[in-house]
Structure 1
Amino acid sequence: MLDQPKNDDGKSAIADPALSPEARQVRAHEIIRDHVLISMAAGLIPAPGIDLGAALANQLALLARLTKLYGVPYSENLGKSVVGSLMASSGGTFAGGALSLTLVKFVPFIGTACGVIAMPTVLGAYTYALGKVFEAHFEDNGTLLTFNADRYRDLWHKMLKRGKTEAASMKDQAATAAPKAS
């Protein structure tokens, strides 16, 4: 008898057979949305570098949740590796932009304000694109071990653009829903 694939925590990595493909996609969308919001909140952290660290931890948690949903074995080290390969395959321009925004937070007052204003959308867009790329990869029966960033480069760029729109929309919705100060 073959052993079932396991995650880092030793738990089985078998997908829930009760979920239809449509229900699984809906659940994947919910998971991605939740993690986009968390990444956007991380972008509000005024301390340079802490924002990126929090976003990376959140993105690894996103990967862990998606692998569980799709019954794919998860390893944090492998998760870090595939996130890094995806970032590298995109030419590093997006990562450079996020790094620039976190570094601008070192400038007192105006730099911090600019970074806190722009960073939520940037981190939200990256998290959205990451989630959508891995959703597509797992839908194609891929695993973290079989991930090829070059294969998903075009989808990555498309989802990054869509992610900027989605994150900006979420930011606007949050601002509208926030109680008005009297």
Structure 2
Amino acid sequence: MLNEVKNDDGKPANSVADPTLSPEARQVRAHEIIRDHVLISMAAGLIPAPGIDLGAALANQLALLARLSKLYDVPYTENLGKSVVGSLMASSGGTFAGGALSLTLIKLVPIIGTACGVIAMPTVLGAYTYALGKVFEAHFEDNGTLLTFNADRYRELWHKMLRRGKTEAASMKDEAAASAPAQAAR
């Protein structure tokens, strides 16, 4: 049973999408939201403590779903968010989740393990967050809701966006590294 808070008009309380946004403007805004959350997930990957990095990334991904749901005027609950994130993890055959878990566990190895995990984890978490955002952008553009989400329907797009997400995350990482000296010089 969903425990959604309703406004006086019967719509979920988190439903405040701007009806004046054109489809193009909505897509631009969705891209901005996804990019913001990819960067946050990448920052979570820098957390040296095993498990805390994954927990922070999951919380960020749930916030991403909440923001996209709001943008597309789709009802959102945290339980549904957790369910769809889990279904996407399962649809990747566990390989991606296993890779992220391995990277977080390698951080248990003093110095070298921590360094390797901190170097690789931001790209992995950024790619996953990117793919999650793009899949739900497509689903919401097709007038889907969290209740109607079917991971099998989006499996091909999911894998394609994971690959693209790795490239996007690596590019964002490079941009951040390039701008760091300029920021330090100010």
Normalising by the residue count of structure 1, what TM-score does the alignment of the two structures yield?
0.93
Secondary structure of 2:64's match? helix
Q: Please list every run of 5 or more consecutive structure 2 residues that lacks an aligned counterpart in the other structure.
A: none
Instruction: Provide the aligned length of Structure 1 versus Structure 2.
Output: 181
Q: Deviations over 1:7-50 (max 9, x none)?
A: 99997465311100000000000000000000000000000000
Q: Deviations over 1:45-66 (max 9, x none)?
A: 0000000000000000000000
Secondary structure of 1:66's match? helix
TM-aligned CA distance change 1:141 to 1:109, over 3 Å: same
Q: Please list every run of 5 or more consecutive structure 1 residues that lacks an aligned counterpart in the other structure.
A: none
Task: Give the match for residue 63 of structure 1.
Answer: 65
Distance in 2 (alpha carbons) for counterparts of 1:89 and 1:155: 11
Do the aligned partners of 1:129 and 1:156 also contact (CA within 8 Å) in 2?
Answer: yes
Q: Deviations over 1:80-99 (max 9, x none)?
A: 00000111011010000000
Q: CA deviation at 1:141?
A: 0.1
CA RMSD of aligned residues (A): 3.4
TM-aligned CA distance change 1:17 to 1:43, over 3 Å: same
TM-aligned CA distance change 1:143 to 1:87, over 3 Å: same
Do the aligned partners of 2:2 and 2:77 also contact (CA within 8 Å) in 1?
Answer: no
Deviating more after overlay: 11-20 vs 150-159: 11-20
TM-aligned CA distance change 1:177 to 1:143, over 3 Å: same
Poorly superposed stretches of 4+, deviation over 4 Å: 1-11
Distance in 1 (alpha carbons) for counterparts of 2:66 and 2:168: 22
Distance in 1 (alpha carbons) for counterparts of 2:19 and 2:126: 30
- Percent identity between matched residues is 90
